[in-house]
Structure 1
């Protein structure tokens, strides 16, 4: 299926056609997105890399709005990884400033849409201003029962699993849990996404085809949709294309279906 944007009228027409095809009963409950390509987008425009992150906010807002319209239960956005601290300090500072700005400016609109903000990751290592903004957003949206927006910040899949193992071992040592009782359900209770549906669909933008240490447990049986579109150019139509493609797949979870 095409990945590039067409003329505005063609885009609107295609969106309407995709919406007709979509089966609202079999949409993914949980969508995760690796929002890649911000820096490359900026460089292509002859701009500083951090402006690519600013441009990417529009894409995130559009995807959130689309998920709300489609009544998707959970959206997990990979905002900042545990490896991203290796980037230039100026870029890190700009990303953290953008996070605070986004949560401040969009909170009322997100609340009105029923979005519940749920940051995941090693949050205590984020700058204080970022933690304060996240705490305000979490508290403000706590009672909402619409889309759960997981903001993955200082997040790494291996670290998440390592922390879960430590907590499970600690529970065993304290006699709260027996080793023979540990199963996949036990592990899931100790993940950042505890209580949420498994990730059905993982989307990665910018053309790279790798998982990059994201939701390693949660995406065990996810469908993965790659696109060459850089994140700042990602729009509602691309999400709809991904959803139509998702619904055309045969999800067998390792088994076979009766003929």
Structure 2
């Protein structure tokens, strides 16, 4: 009985708390680029009776459009969502097959809204042809709204290796020797060949599920990022949780390594 009453009181106060968070936020300090590690789908499924791992992944996928709407409201310009890591391929073949199917459906749903430019970032050559071709075929459709990077088959170390290889390939095409390329190489040269080239580095990285590690997410780009770790599993991530992350970010004094 008391648990029910507590739940009713909590649900009644939730909109008021959300409103207060919005009122208190300084939207002039909103990050331009937010990266999110969508973690906890399988644990969410285990914590909710009668749910399987695929149901957890589907619940996580269904949260994405809602979350991007919150980003629109907060004037975030770029969002990178880590949907699948290169390490995830170590899972069972059945789970990977189901997960790739859900990811393909999610990308279709995001593109069908017409609200955002969707870009796939990752080692797409590791994916089955039906999915890699779908992702490679994504085209910009508008000049405003949030730019959404879907990080699929993504690994931070792999991205850096790919960037260095691409840089050296360009130098070779220009007639430069390996020694010449090595001598003139700068950090900016590598940045030009990252999956997110041309976009601002993320100012804020969010990870759900209570895990306090990045696992190689945006390894190069996150050198000066602020981190926010949320206890909620991704399917349970609420607008209040996002607003708290924005508030925490706005209150931090960013020193940029100084």
What's the TM-score, normalizing by structure 1? 0.88
Comparing 97-106 and 197-206, the one that deviates more: 97-106
Correspondences of 1:49-198 after superposition (within 5 Å):
49-109=53-113, 111=114, 113=115, 115-136=116-137, 138-139=138-139, 141-174=140-173, 175=175, 178-198=181-201
Comparing 17-26 and 6-15, the one that deviates more: 6-15
Instruction: Please say if residues 37 and 208 of structure 2, whose CA atoms lie closer than 8 Å, have aligned partners that are also in contact.
Output: yes
Instruction: Please say if residues 38 and 52 of structure 1, whose CA atoms lie closer than 8 Å, have aligned partners that are also in contact.
Output: yes
More helix as a share of residues: 2
Q: For 1:43 and 1:198, how far apart are their aligned partners in 2?
A: 35
Q: For 1:124 and 1:163, how far apart are their aligned partners in 2?
A: 12
Following TM superposition, by how much is the alpha carbon of 1:178 offset from its aligned partner in structure 2, in angstroms?
4.3
Secondary structure of the corresponding residue to residue 246 of structure 1: helix
- Provide the aligned C-alpha RMSD in A: 1.8
Structure 1 match to 2:225: 222
Q: For 2:65 and 2:94, how far apart are their aligned partners in 1?
A: 24
Q: For 2:164 and 2:106, how far apart are their aligned partners in 1?
A: 33
What's the TM-score, normalizing by structure 2? 0.89
- Structure 1 portions without partners, runs of 5+: 1-5
1:39 alignment partner, one of 34, 39, 42: 42
Instruction: Please say if residues 111 and 118 of structure 2, whose CA atoms lie closer than 8 Å, have aligned partners that are also in contact.
Output: no
- Structure 2 portions without partners, runs of 5+: 1-8
Following TM superposition, by how much is the alpha carbon of 1:142 offset from its aligned partner in structure 2, in angstroms?
3.5
Instruction: Please say if residues 24 and 70 of structure 1, whose CA atoms lie closer than 8 Å, have aligned partners that are also in contact.
Output: yes
Following TM superposition, by how much is the alpha carbon of 1:134 offset from its aligned partner in structure 2, in angstroms?
2.6
Runs of 4+, deviation exceeding 6 Å: none
Q: Does 1:208 align with 2:211?
A: yes
Q: For residues 4-51 of structure 1, what are the alpha-carbon distances to aligned partners after superposition, in whole Å with 9 as ceiling and x for unaligned?
A: xx8333221111111111112111010001111100110111321111
Length, aligned pairs only: 245
Q: For 2:60 and 2:28, how far apart are their aligned partners in 1?
A: 30
Comparing 123-132 and 12-21, the one that deviates more: 123-132
Structure 2 match to 1:3: none
